[in-house]
Amino acid sequence: MIIAELIFWLIIFGLSAVVHEYCHAWMANYLGDPTAKHAGRLTLNPIAHVDLFGTLMLPIIMFFLSGGSFLFAYAKPVPFNPGNFRDWTWDPVKVALAGPGANISVAVIFGLLVRYLPSTDFTGLLSFIVYANVLLAVFNSLPIPPLDGSKLLFAILPGSLDHVRDALERYGMIVLLVFILFAFRLVVPVVLAIFKLITGIPIF
């Protein structure tokens, strides 16, 4: 039963991450950078986006370490070349936010079904999809490199704080790891609140 639950979550998080990365690629191509398209990433084919560690190993490790209470996954980052953009400051932000924006859109679509359809096992499945996409959107919006939210942070930081940007880019992965290990609980209430706002029901 535990293995079946893990596979179920891997599929939901994996497909949600694929949508996330596809929309990064789509937005970059729309704004004039075909790098992701040429790399074969402008597709919804999961194989093109799967990251061995982030999509498979990490969620399995987190699932068992947490006793099945927590799981997170990510797909292979989409490459892009800011030099191809017309607006070097804000076009990268648009590309970055396209990912979380896509996950929120998916969450809203399935969340409205949960809200208005009779409660069944099917709507329970839809609730899991909503939860996974809200979690991906909220987590990736954190202003910590290499997460998407860092692109917005860097765009609004004044030049006088370039040293902050340099430090975050240099130590971002360490900061992110510390956050996941010791402060991830701060994200949970936000995820639960958005889930309830969309579906109209408390989490599960």
21 in a domain, yes or no? yes
Question: What sign does the CA torsion over 124, 183, 66, 10 have?
Answer: positive
181 in a domain, yes or no? yes
CA distance 20 to 29: 15
194 in a domain, yes or no? yes
User: Which residues neighbour 113 within 8 Å (Cβ) at sequence distance 6 or greater?
Assistant: 123, 126
CA dihedral 122, 190, 26, 106 (to 10 degrees): 20
For residues 128-151, b (16+ Cβ closer than 10 Å) or e, as one string? bbbbbbbbbbbbbbbbbbebbbbb
In contact, 80 and 35? CB cutoff 8 Å: yes
204 in a domain, yes or no? no
Separation of CA 108 from chain center: 15
52 in a domain, yes or no? yes
CA dihedral 162, 166, 167, 170 (to 10 degrees): 170
3-state secondary structure at position 25: helix
Please say if 169 is a catalytic residue.
no
pLDDT, one tens digit per residue, over 67-107 is 666 777 778 889 999 999 999 999 999 999 999 999 999 99
Quote the domain boundaries for residue 144.
2-199
15 in a domain, yes or no? yes
pLDDT less than 50: residues of the chain? none
- Which of 111, 149, 20, 150 is closest to 72 using CA atoms? 20
pLDDT, one tens digit per residue, over 143-160 is 999 999 999 999 999 988
116 in a domain, yes or no? yes
The number of folded domains in the chain is: 1
| Residue-level pLDDT at 54 | 81
| Residue-level pLDDT at 68 | 65
134 in a domain, yes or no? yes
Write down the catalytic residue from 12, 21, 25, 150.
21
